[in-house]
Structure 1
Amino acid sequence: MVLRKLSILFLLLCATTVARASTILIPMDDKQSDHLKAYGIAYWVLSNEIDAWWLLNYRGGSFAFTHSRAFERECLTRGVKYEVIPDAQFNAILAEIADPERNMDAMKLEKAPKIAVYTPEFNFREGSKVQPWDDAVTLVLTYAEIPYETVYDDEVLKDRLAEFDWLHLHHEDFTGQHGRFYRSFHTADWYRRQVDYLEETAARNGFEKVSQLKLAVVKKVREFVGGGGFMFAMCSATDSYDIALAADGVDICAPYYDGDAIDPNAQEKLDFSRTFAFENFKLQRNPLEYEFSDIDHNPRNVSQDQDYFTLFEYSAKWDPVPTMLTQNHNKTVKGFMGQTTAFRKSTIKSSVLILGENKPADEARYLHGNFGEGFFSFYAGHDPADYRHLVNDPETDLSLHPNSPGYRLILNNILFPAAKKKKRKT
């Protein structure tokens, strides 16, 4: 890796006069052949200690960086469309972006964030070494060739999160109710192994219950975010995370999950001041229902052919963070389901930004907020390229969806921590 970096730097120093006076522009509008791999190129450039530009709202949120033959070859190898433009033309683009009348901004990207994915590494699926569902973030990171490390309960409790800039949580149940899969899957081999593994992990770390283990993990994640980290969550990791925080010290697990009864006054004992995004929600008291609370907008009166959500348009110069997180070549994104499919707006705190919504259905799909010195994003649904992904369905092949607007939102969050911090103008 060190030799590869040195060779790239050498190529940059030894480039021709034309190359030195040139910029590579990666367009992110409809002309881009592979939007997802384009993020991987931007990350790769940063990992070679070369700064890049993220041109917010310019041609779908394009990327730009100093021209080199090595970077050009990488774009060709990965099938990413690019343009080599003279520096004078790039400076004209920057001048256009700087125009106060244009809703654009140029964001400097300086450092490739170190990424952690919270995921187990034990055998869930019969005959394999993976869970019985895929994870949209690990799928797109792998496809875009962006490196990441995996952590789970043991690593989190040993304070390994301090090694990372960015943490992803996906189809996880932080309430200790094993995903509420009991009714449908309690006899399945993968479910029994999941329960056994988590109970062993809890005991190994000094906890009597899985719910206590997960609460300790949730608190470590809260420390990570409060100290300046970035947490991105999808599907059931969104609402179950906040429910666990609100229920600190309250037993909300039925005997199916922890061997003893639910606190009959659990609802009244919830403390919403502890949560990141949600408040005033009602717990689902039926322990066999595949639902945690009324945060999830269920039932939904939305048919599959009309299930879309719209991204908000923010002022790039005044609100660069939400602008970065909503960069896309389409502002209308096809919806997709999950254990947590959409957020009921009445349960969202007023301090939290709604980045994407299905307005006719009065539901939010994509949220962002601050906690302490850090940030979090909650993205509802399981797989942006698979409308109704079921347990034991095969993994999504992202080579069939290289221009997915839904997957682009995940990658926006990946690059967000690389941005040079600007003072907020409001």
Structure 2
Amino acid sequence: MAKKRLGQDGLSLVELLAALVIASLLIVLISSVLTSTLKFNNGTQDTIHLRQESNKIITQIRNSHQNNGEICYQNLLDNGDISMKLTLDHINIGKYSCLQAVSTNDLAVMFTLSNESDKDYTLSTVVEGRERTPISIAIPDKKEDGDFVDMLDLHDVFVYGSNLFISGSSPLNSATNGSGSVVINNLNKKNLEFVGDNRISVQKIYIDKLGNEVVFKSSTHLGEAKKTELVTINGNVILNNGGAKIYGDTIYINGDVTFTDSSVIEGKKIIINGNVVFKNWSAEMKANEIYISGVVRNETSNTKNIVGTLKDYKNLKKDQIPEHPSISIPTFREDSWYSKNGYETRTNGNLSNDIRIYSPGNFKLDNWQPNKKNVVIISKGDIELNNFGGSELTGILFAPQGKVTFVGQAFKGIVITRDGFSTGSNPSITYMNIREFIKENDPVPFQ
């Protein structure tokens, strides 16, 4: 009987193996396509979800920015499955950190959202600040303030010049418990540097260094709490010493402010027509009302450098900006005028009480002097009083083309100078009104 062949009644072994291989390949291919499709759909859903979350976050940031509110990390995320890396104004904001928004400032925003599947979504944009109107200092009309002596009397001017250098820890006070003004102009076109541990405790302080800088290199206190009503500064302010402080009921700075150390600006109202940069954790700007026209940038992780209520700068009215006194330096009388009106013409020599001196050049005194009262020195150059030792001088030192130097125990009176007032030996400095020395009917030694 003939044998039956496998190929006649079914599949051969080779054909069966081939069929299994093809089926396996089809299963793998279909599984790969399904897996890829599922991953794509999941990835798309993750992206859509993260994008929806980012839209919520940027909406919250815009609302806080518009209302001058705090932007806090923990208030932006309501989904525990998502983490966020947040940067505002190029500052990293941690989980428990906030940034005080200012509606008039542009706000740079960048954040990256990540879910549990390690899917990321990054958004980078700028929230534009509302338009602001620049405001400049209002200058009073000269005609309303009269002549130079009346001006000094009206504004209680104590020191008038381009510079103020008081050595050591000398206090600068007022004989009438808080009145008096310090007026610093920019006739020398140079920076004003505070380098002593001084306390300038007068009622009003006016500094005009527009185009230059006011630099605190020491722990000078410009103004005193509960005594100084007004501080106005034209020019950029740089606080380079942790002990430096600016106090005043109202503080107006027409320029940028940079805190490089733990300095303090404190008042009831602070107005900054410029940018503010915090480079130190402990630096502080503190007031009931704070107006800043420019950008606030914090280069530390501390977002609490500003203490008080930030208000919209553009809502300030012109009459809310402090006025800067319009005082121009006077000129000399004719040389003959001084001899006719009781002035001694000389460039050196000892002083006496009630003396009047006119110097056609520098006036220099190196001899020791006992206490002298009611002295008036008018000089076309510098005035140097180098050896008062433990003695006191009261009077007027007038050098509108030079500088004034005093080395002694105490000075009471007024200083008028182009290039500044400097001291040695750590004296006490006290303001006295010009009418203490030049009465209403007295001849005025300048015009």
Whichever of the two has the greater Rg, that structure is 2
Relative contact order, higher structure (CA 8 A, sep 6+):
1
After TM superposition, is the score higher than 0.5? no
Considering fraction of residues, name the structure with more strand: 2
TM-score normalised per structure 1: 0.22
